[in-house]
Amino acid sequence: MRPRAGFLGVLLGLLLAHGAGTQRAHAPLKPQRVQFQSRNFHNVLHWQPGKVPAGDLSLYFVQYKMYGQRQWHNKEACWGIRALLCDLTNETSAVQEPYYARVRTASAGVLSGWSTTQRFTPWWETKLDPPVMNITQINGSLVVVLRAPDLPYKDQKGKNISMENYYEIVYRVFIINNSLEKERKVYEGAHRVVEIQAPASRSGYCVVAEMYRPMFDRSSHRSEERCVKTA
């Protein structure tokens, strides 16, 4: 659980909400490198502290809005915090819409100005983790079962919503011959269950997989190798 501010945070929060501060905005205190980091639509705002005295216990206040809106909204769970990040996944769930977020610092009764992100569109900018992969051997063949990583969204029945609801996903499967250290792509397509003829290799082989988004020409990282020993 992230540390939350006490009375001081509440007081500063009230002042911020009413557009006032204990002193005028102090430029060196402004948070630096304010940006979204997004994986599988988990959208987390990160920043670095400005120039604060050594040992200072600064408090941070976060707001967000959708592009085109005039009013900023307070993120209550990130209002007067000491952490350098804030989870805005729920606030940015319309993934094809662009958003902004901003952060300001309070330190020793002094308020900084706001530091604002660049425009952030989750659908365009989120990075994909590799697919979850399981393999079994059946009668000399490999059966590879692939699954896209979990998303933070669920349907009305409480079931996980697939990444395939948002993108055209192509799965790629590669086999690495351990003795020759050569890699061969054995499948590329949309199927999540793939049967492959197991290679003949005295030293065994390994299987890896990745996901590819043709619209963006972007691939995920590869899954961890799953290795099979042959008799």
User: Does this chain's domain 7-125 share its CATH topology with 132-228?
Assistant: yes
Determine if residue 217 is left, alpha or beta; phi over 0 gives left, psi from -120 to 50 gives alpha, anything else beta.
Answer: left
Token reading at 114: 């706001």
Query: What is residue 202's predicted lDDT score, i.e. its pLDDT?
Result: 67
For residue 120, the cross-strand partners are 99
Q: If you classify domain 7-125 with CATH, what class do you get?
A: mainly beta
Pick from 210, 205, 207: which is nearest to 225 by CA?
207
pLDDT along the chain (231 residues), means of 10: 47 49 63 97 96 79 97 98 97 97 92 96 96 89 92 87 92 85 89 88 84 95 87 60
Query: What is residue 160's predicted lDDT score, i.e. its pLDDT?
Result: 86
Q: Say how many residues make up the chain.
A: 231
- Cα separation of 205 and 182, whole Å? 10
DSSP 125-165: HPBPPPPEEEEEEETTEEEEEEEPPP-S-B-TTSPBPPGGG
- Cα separation of 76 and 122, whole Å? 21
User: For residue 44, how many C-alpha atoms fall within 13 Å in the half-sphere facing its CB?
Assistant: 13
Query: What is residue 2's predicted lDDT score, i.e. its pLDDT?
Result: 44
Token reading at 223: 């899954």
Domain boundaries, the chain: 7-125, 132-228
Domain 132-228, CATH among 2.60.40.10, 1.10.3720.10, 2.40.30.10, 3.60.130.10: 2.60.40.10
